[in-house]
Amino acid sequence: MKRSVLAVMSLVLLNSITLAQSRTPEFPRSTTQVLNDWVTNIEQLLVPAADAMPEAKYSFTPSYGEFKGVRTFGEQVKHLAAANYQLGSRILAEEPPQGTQGEAAPSSVNSKAEIMEYLKGSFACLHRAAAKVDQKNEVELIAGTKGTWQRTRLGLLIDALAHSSNHYGQMVEYLRMNGIVPPESR
């Protein structure tokens, strides 16, 4: 009996060792890698959603219910891109593109093609910003920033991602109101 228990335990142990060696080893992800992955994920939602709306519908706003004073579809895209530039630029300690005022895009950005270019550029800025955030500087306070957690590189990048996600939800609603299935839902 002792021999069979010992034999079974040996087989289980040997099998466990073999399985452990055959699996792809997990590796720790850096702060920079995780943040960049999140920027990519949100970019892959927003850019196709913005592109899915026909240019003629970029001026769309809901006309029924409590929607007075809301942004058009195009204004939402411009606003979130401007915010991406503002927050990413703070992390990078550089100026946002000329004409970007607060969370407003330059007045020269009007057509769908210009808005799409501005949006893509804003995500390029966030990718560069994510590349600058690491474990050594993620919670250093950045001069000239306000708020609590938003005063750090990590906080600013999380703020940009959360803000973009909020506008993605609004964009999905606008797309669906126009009979367009968002690309991520297809």
pLDDT, tens digit, for every residue of 27-54? 668 999 999 999 999 999 999 999 999 9
Which residue has 């997990």 as its token pair?
Answer: 26
Collapse the DSSP code of 14 into the 3-class scheme (helix H, G, I; strand E, B; otherwise coil) and give the result.
helix
Which residue has 């040997």 as its token pair?
Answer: 14
Residue 6 has pLDDT above 80, yes or no: no
Collapse the DSSP code of 141 into the 3-class scheme (helix H, G, I; strand E, B; otherwise coil) and give the result.
strand
Q: For residue 11, what pLDDT is reported?
A: 43
Residue 3 has pLDDT above 70, yes or no: no
Q: Which class for 9: exposed (0-12), middle (13-18), buried (19 or more C-beta within 10 A)?
A: exposed
pTM > 0.85: yes or no: no
104: which 2 tokens? 């407003």
Long-range contacts of 82-86 (CB under 8 A, 24+ apart): 82/122, 83/160, 83/163, 83/164, 84/122, 84/123, 84/125, 84/126, 84/160, 84/163, 84/164, 85/121, 85/122, 85/125
pLDDT in tens, 81-91: 999 999 999 99
Q: For residue 21, what pLDDT is reported?
A: 54
Name the nearest CA neighbour of 31 among 161, 122, 153, 163: 153
Identify the band that residue 63 occupies on the pLDDT scale cut at 50, 70 and 90: confident
pLDDT in tens, 121-178: 999 999 999 999 999 999 988 887 776 656 899 999 999 999 999 999 999 999 999 9
Overall fold of domain 30-185: Four Helix Bundle (Hemerythrin (Met), subunit A) (1.20.120)
Alpha carbon of residue 60 to chain centroid? 24
Across the chain, what does the average pLDDT equal? 86
Q: For residue 130, what pLDDT is reported?
A: 97
Mean per-residue pLDDT, 100-118:
95
